[in-house]
Amino acid sequence: IKDALGFLMTREIAHQKSFEKALYAIENNFPSGKLPGVEKYASMYVNTSQGDGDVAGPWNSGEEWDRIDDLEEVMPVDGGDGLATVKLGAKDMKVVARMADRTLSDPASDPTTGADLGAGPGAGRTK
């Protein structure tokens, strides 16, 4: 069990480092709060990790979260059939093109992030 837990925690460390770097690479959208999130989803926790080891804690339950355990209730979130399909009019396509330009990642960006600053033993390679 210790090895399995060590692997899972290590995976989460790698996810945090990678995710934070990716967020910083979208300069016009990060840090969070520059552009508002979609209120409907900003406090939603969809519990897709059900089964053995499923634990409720402050990261996924409590007054800050709208916890969803019944996946049928929200999946697919957009009310469609769950397939990756998009039907947009010309006006919306222009908006999407502007958003793509605005959120374009800068692959040369490599700032020191909170994950770097808070790294301790076992965090792997950081700045």
Domain ranges of the chain: 1-33, 36-102
Mean pLDDT of 78-105: 84
Q: What does pTM read for this prediction?
A: 0.45
The candidate with the shortest Cα–Cα distance to 102, out of 25, 9, 6, 13, is 25
Answer whether residue 112 shows pLDDT above 70.
Answer: yes
pLDDT the model gives residue 35: 67
Q: How much is the average pLDDT of 7-21?
A: 77
Structural contact between residues 101 and 93, judged by C-beta atoms closer than 8 angstroms: no
> Is the model more confident about 87 or about 32?
87
Which helix (H) or strand (E) segment is 10 a member of? helix 2-25
Residue 92 has a pLDDT of: 93
pLDDT the model gives residue 33: 57
SS3 state at 124: coil
pLDDT tens digits, 30-85: 555 566 777 888 888 888 888 888 888 888 888 989 998 988 877 777 677 777 77
